[in-house]
């Protein structure tokens, strides 16, 4: 439940932060941009969750890299494909009315296909052919591509360590998908430092999974989270969120929250758990489509200010709920279908071989 809460909060931070930038304007220079902090939280949580998945599910001898890929594919693409279709429609409508060049530049079939193959965050040895921009107005997609490359790299390395006989098959996977994580150990997505060290932050999330399993006292864990959050805000002005100085503090915040709640989650009422689950269930879709919605409102409506800000946030949430109902909320069903299909093909191949 704690992870669902953090995931939902991170998504809303990104949504609200971008809406503030679009429709209200000047952010206090002494405070970190909450949309950037939301992205950092996503990477910390991703490292924690993927490590938990690999460790816990690998106790089943039938769980291997293929099943890991199926689960990740179903989780990511169940949300990505409906979101990309939505972006195609909305950006197409906006371009028809405005011919906005900043959208038109990346509203191409090649860019769409590149985003389907998670190349918009690629940073490796083939920049001239494999490095692409996010599609249309969906600029947050660059972080998703980095996540995908980390998933494939971390999964391949984990299963090679677990079963050395898989090295000949998984080493090429690790070599290709490891290029982007290697860059984001210390490198950035942009020259101004945006995205710096995101894989380092992901690894910190993986470390939190190990450390958070130790016993903690509630007051000490809560104090750790509070003090670390206050210190992070105090030393992180706007635009300096992607800094190695602040990453340990943000990791300590997440560690403190998880440690403080790991023994108290059973005390939470069912209604609170359902509410948290509701907001978490569409957080991925919200992250993918909110920027496109806000870009369209900004280009099509002349008004600015608090009412449009509220409209943009509300509309983004409503659209995300609808897209999640046909997309990301069905990822487990998709994973089961794909698993069954691959098992059937393996059985048929074994039968043919015999």
Q: What is the pLDDT of residues 284-335, one digit of tens each?
A: 999 999 999 999 999 999 889 999 999 999 999 999 999 999 999 999 999 9
What does the alpha-carbon distance between residue 130 and residue 116 come to, in Å, rounded to a whole number? 12
H helix or E strand, kind and range, residue 323: helix 306-326
Range of the domain at 101: 2-353
pLDDT at residue 108, as a whole number: 96
**Reported confidence tier of residue 213, pLDDT bands at 50, 70, 90:** confident
Packing angle between helix 198-211 and helix 141-162, nearest 10 degrees? 50
CA separation for the pair 205, 133 (Å, rounded): 27
* Number of domains comprising the chain: 1
- Name the token pair of 226: 């509070």
pLDDT digits (tens, 9 = 90+) for 160-178: 999 999 999 999 999 999 9
Residue 321: count of CB within 10 angstroms of its CB: 16
Q: Which residue has the higher pLDDT, 352 or 34?
A: 34
- How far is the C-alpha of 326 from the C-alpha of 339, rounded, in Å? 20
352 — pLDDT class (breaks 50, 70, 90) = low
- Sequence-distant (≥ 6) Cβ neighbours of residue 149 within 8 angstroms: 118, 121, 122, 177, 178, 179, 180, 181
In this prediction, residue 71 carries a pLDDT of 95
- Angle among Cα 108, 316, 111 to the nearest 5 degrees reads 15
């Amino acid at each position: 439940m704690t992870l669902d809460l953090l995931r939902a909060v991170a998504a809303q931070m990104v949504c609200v932060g971008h809406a503030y930038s679009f429709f209200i304007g000047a952010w206090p220079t002494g405070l970190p941009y909450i949309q950037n902090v939301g992205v950092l939280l996503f990477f910390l949580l991703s490292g924690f969750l993927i490590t938990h998945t690999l460790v816990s599910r690998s106790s089943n001898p039938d769980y291997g890299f293929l099943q890991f890929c199926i689960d990740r594919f179903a989780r990511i693409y169940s949300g990505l494909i409906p979101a990309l279709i939505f972006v195609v429609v909305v950006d197409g409508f906006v371009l028809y009315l405005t011919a906005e060049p900043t959208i038109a530049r990346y509203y191409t079939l090649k860019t769409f296909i590149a985003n389907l193959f998670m190349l918009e965050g690629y940073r490796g040895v083939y920049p001239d052919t494999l490095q692409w921009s996010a599609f249309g107005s969906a600029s947050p997609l660059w972080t998703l591509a980095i996540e995908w490359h980390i998933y494939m790299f971390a999964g391949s390395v984990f299963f090679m360590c677990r079963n050395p006989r898989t090295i000949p098959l998984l080493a090429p996977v690790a070599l290709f998908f490891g290029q982007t994580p290697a860059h984001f150990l210390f490198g950035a997505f942009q020259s101004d430092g945006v995205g710096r060290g995101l894989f380092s932050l992901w690894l910190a999330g993986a470390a939190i999974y190990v450390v958070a399993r130790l016993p903690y006292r509630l007051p000490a864990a809560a104090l750790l989270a509070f003090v670390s959050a206050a210190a992070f805000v105090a030393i992180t002005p706007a635009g300096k969120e992607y800094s190695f100085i602040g990453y340990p503090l943000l990791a300590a915040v997440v560690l403190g929250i998880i440690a403080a709640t790991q023994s108290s989650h059973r005390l939470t009422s069912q209604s609170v758990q359902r509410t948290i689950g509701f907001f978490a269930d569409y957080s991925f879709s919200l992250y993918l489509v909110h920027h496109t919605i806000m870009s369209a409102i900004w280009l099509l409506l002349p008004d600015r200010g608090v009412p449009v800000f509220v409209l943009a946030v509300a509309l983004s949430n409503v659209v995300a709920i609808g897209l999640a109902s046909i997309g990301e909320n069905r990822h487990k069903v998709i994973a089961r279908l794909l698993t069954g299909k691959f098992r059937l093909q393996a059985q048929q191949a074994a039968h043919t071989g015999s």
